[in-house]
Structure 1
Amino acid sequence: MKHAIALCLSMLLLATPSLAQEPDQDRASDLEEGMDMMSEGARRLLDGLVGEVEPRMRDLADALREFDFDQLNVDDLSAYHPPERLPNGDIIIRRKRPADDSAPMDNEIEI
């Protein structure tokens, strides 16, 4: 009786690897199918976003083409530091080099 149980147990253990290969292959194919579905979903999401954003970006590009940048009266943006926000909320844009080399007068306030 002990030999029969041992024999059945050993046969079961030997059969397990062959049975285990099929679920692993199924898992691999399920994983691959899931990744394909996620990839397709991400592609559709991005296509939808591009479809919504593209007309607005074209409108913005058209508006920028029509905008008159000469009215800004800024010669060269590289002559200015990036804008700074002060603690009180004011925003200032400083020149990198003063427009003229003259020193401020005594009654002028330098910012």
Structure 2
Amino acid sequence: MMRALALSLSLLAAPLAAQEPPSPPPSAEEGFDLLGRGARSLLQSLMGELDPALRQMQEGMQGLGPMLRDLAALLGDVQHYEAPERLPNGDVLIRRRPNAPPPPDLPEASGGPGLTPAPDGSIDL
């Protein structure tokens, strides 16, 4: 009986001896390296997803450039205007400052729909 007990205990102890000792915890340097690689991977995948949208936005901004130049020519110096104010009906009013020089002459109408000046010089938008 003692022999059987000794044999069974030795068989149970064999798997415990075969286990590897626990690995030491990673150092702080290894942790920062892992964080850096993870952040780099995240940013690269994010840029890959955003690249088409950024290119499309760039094309749109390039098309907007001529319109912004026309608006700047129409307004003249922005410092000659007061801050915009919203009216109760939702309209936005941008008043010219009282001490500002006269506004620049309006550019010639391009003949597009709704851009023909009225006899008093106003343009319906």
TM-score, structure 1 as length reference: 0.48
TM norm structure 2: 0.44
